Amino acid sequence: MTQTQSSTAAAHGPEVGNELLLRMMEQLVLTREFESKCEAMWKAGEHLVGEYHLSLGQEAIAVGTCAAIEPSDLICPSIRGMGVYLCRGTPLSQLMKTFFDREGAICGGRWAHWHSPVAEAGLLAQTGMLGSGLVTSAGVALAQQYLGTGKVVITMLGDGATNTGYFHEGMNFAAFRQLPIVIIIENNGYAVSTPLASVVNVKHLSSRAAGYGMPGLTIDGNDVLLVYNTVRDAVGKARSGCGPTLIECMTYRFSGSTVKDPDQLRPFAEKEKARKKCPVLRFKTLLEQKGVLAPRDYEEMVTSVQARIDAAEKEAKESPHLDLNGDPLVKLAPYPDRADA
């Protein structure tokens, strides 16, 4: 069965306390500001490792999802997963050091940001083949089921990845074994520059869940509270042994497919319309209406976040480069702009 939920459905969830509301607001701001900083560094010609897939405009999915799960749960972000890294507490300085090839980088600097697991944050590594993260996540979920850990696995992927064999294999296995996993599609309407509607003959990707015998939901992915409530419910079902749920979060990315993409193929009017549904400003307005957040509080939050990001960048740039001596990967992927490589 496929259900489509509107933003009003968020009101049916339990009352969310002000502390959590403000934490989600800060995480939305942090993700927006951190990625905007990274985009600016790329455009300024600074050397950053890996090809960066921005999630600008999609931040509510990561923030709402991470707020809905337990610290012990495991999550495999999509290629636009920086918000997950930030929400799960990965230090800003460690992320910046990873971008700049500095000591203290994640995984010894062997990086593309969505390839790097962070064990202490419960972050699973995405693979280089889009869609296959669902298969590996299903394997991790099988381990949790077998060991009886009580942990739930969240796996996230883009709409383009749903047209792969990996998606079918992972969905079928998860449903057949009734695994403790929640599958989240970040549907921004495009696989790079290919409109989803030009390659898929269904209105909602969540309708595919019925063919595997699992529930499927389509929700407004720019509504952070709706994402939070929907994921929380699905995680509760998975943890109680009721198996997987497929959640399709409708959204739109504000920039090109990667930071290098000039984004000239999507209609200008479409992009401008999407910006009016900005998840960050939308949640800010909601909290102001509820009396939880004053305009001055928001300004101070943005200033504080920007200062933290700038401090992390400064620390990274002042840290020594990674010692590449003896690393066999250097022969496979040399650093032509590094004198010590």
Residue 1 has what pLDDT? Answer: 46
Is residue 116 within 8 A of residue 125, CB to CB? The reply is yes
Residue 107 has what pLDDT? Answer: 79
Is residue 118 within 8 A of residue 124, CB to CB? The reply is no
Give the H or E element holding residue 21. Answer: helix 18-43
Cβ atoms within 10 A of the Cβ of 320, count?
A: 11
Residue 110 has what pLDDT? Answer: 65
DSSP code of residue 223? -
3-state secondary structure of 37: helix
* Beta-bridge partners for 340: none
Residue 200 has what pLDDT? Answer: 94
Domain ranges of the chain: 2-332
Identify the CATH number of the domain defined by range 2-332: 3.40.50.970
Q: Give the N- to C-terminal CA distance of the chain in Å, as an integer.
A: 55
Please give the model's pTM, rounded to 2 decimal places. Answer: 0.92
Distance, CA of 225 to CA of 285 (rounded, Å): 13
3-state secondary structure of 185: strand
Distance, CA of 333 to CA of 312 (rounded, Å): 26
Residue 15 has what pLDDT? Answer: 81
Tens-digit pLDDT string for the chain (341 aa): 456 665 444 444 668 999 999 999 999 999 999 999 989 998 888 867 667 889 999 999 999 999 999 999 999 999 899 999 999 999 999 999 988 888 888 877 766 566 778 889 999 988 778 889 999 999 999 999 999 999 999 999 999 999 999 999 999 999 999 999 999 999 999 999 999 999 999 999 999 999 999 999 999 999 999 999 999 999 999 999 999 999 999 999 999 988 888 999 999 999 999 999 999 999 999 999 999 999 999 999 999 999 999 999 999 999 998 876 656 555 555 555 544 44
